[in-house]
Amino acid sequence: MTQKVNTTTDSGRAQEGRNNDSDIVVSVSELSLAYPSSDEVIVSCDTLRIPNGEVTALIGPNGSGKSTLLKALSNHLRPREGTVHVDGRTVREYDQKEFARTLGRLSQENESPGDLSVEDLVYHGRYPYRGFFDGISDKDEAAVERAIDLAGVEHLREDSVGDLSGGQKQLAWMAMVLAQDTDILLLDEPTTFLDLNHQLQVMETVRRLNQERAITVIVVLHDIAQAARHADHLLVLEDGEIFDRGHPEEVVTESLLAEVFEVDAAVQYEPELRIHPQQSLSGPE
């Protein structure tokens, strides 16, 4: 564990040289992503390696392809070219339920019947473990209890999902994904519509998961400061290509903010990484 942290902190470029497959849990090669209805390639990326047991944040401006990349990693979008490997196998080789036991994904917006209780929602997370005729096993129950506890929604258990606030809803859905009990977790902008308190709750849950259960987390984040604070590893996307990767302190620089995000900002590294945005660089033309 410590050894790995050392290598990653060195430099983002060090990632390229690392070929130890046991450290890499999700990888892509020669990937080219486009939506079936159009020819436009949204993401193209030669190689991408997500280190095992770390929190990797995907950041980038709107439309840079973060969510699209996440869709391909979670097998929701078939790549036009290239392959995605999860745990050493291509995603196509997995049986669907088996894949859902390996990798969980929480999408940006979720819908459910309004009268569904939080507890029942979380139980749906056990779908990939249950056969067609199976009832609920003790294992399912234990996983659900743990998920409810981890996401901190114990007090909401009996409430209807439709009555929850946006933040509580997100935590309830997070609990459902946690009940899937996967080693890899993909989160698509889990904090975007939440108030500060719930943003922190979500990110703290992510942290706790990663530390206590060694779960690899790939999270798309809108907020660079948040990404820098909570992730071990940043991946910056611009126009569908990986612009930079590495440890937050090396990646988040004033020039990156200017070049990729088109903002003039001051970055402060001590005592901790802080970003002070000054003004937009792409004003009205």
Tell me, what amino acid is at 121? L
User: Nearer Cβ to another protein, position 29 or 110?
Assistant: 110
Contact 181, 143 (CB under 8 A): yes
Regarding 92 and contact with another protein (CB under 8 A), the answer is no
Residue 242 CB, nearest distance to another protein (Å)? 24
Among 45, 129, 167, 242, binds another protein (CB under 8 A): 129
Closest CA to 5 of 55, 76, 71: 55
Burial of 282 (0-12, 13-18, 19+ CB in 10 A): exposed
Regarding 38 and contact with another protein (CB under 8 A), the answer is no
Residue 37 CB, nearest distance to another protein (Å)? 7
Residue 195 CB, nearest distance to another protein (Å)? 24
Regarding 91 and contact with another protein (CB under 8 A), the answer is no
Other Cβ atoms closer than 10 A to 162: 11
Regarding 36 and contact with another protein (CB under 8 A), the answer is yes
Regarding 111 and contact with another protein (CB under 8 A), the answer is yes
Among 22, 38, 40, 138, binds another protein (CB under 8 A): 138
Binding segment toward another protein, per CB under 8 A, in 50-58, 97-105, 151-159, 265-273:
97-105
Other Cβ atoms closer than 10 A to 134: 10
**How far is residue 5 from each of residues 12, 207, 234, 246, measured CA to CA in Å?**
12, 16, 14, 12
Strand, coil or helix: what is 98?
helix
| Overall size of the chain counted in residues | 285
The residues that touch another protein, with contacts defined as CB under 8 A, are 36-37, 74, 76, 96-101, 104-107, 110-116, 120-121, 123-125, 127-139, 141, 177, 180
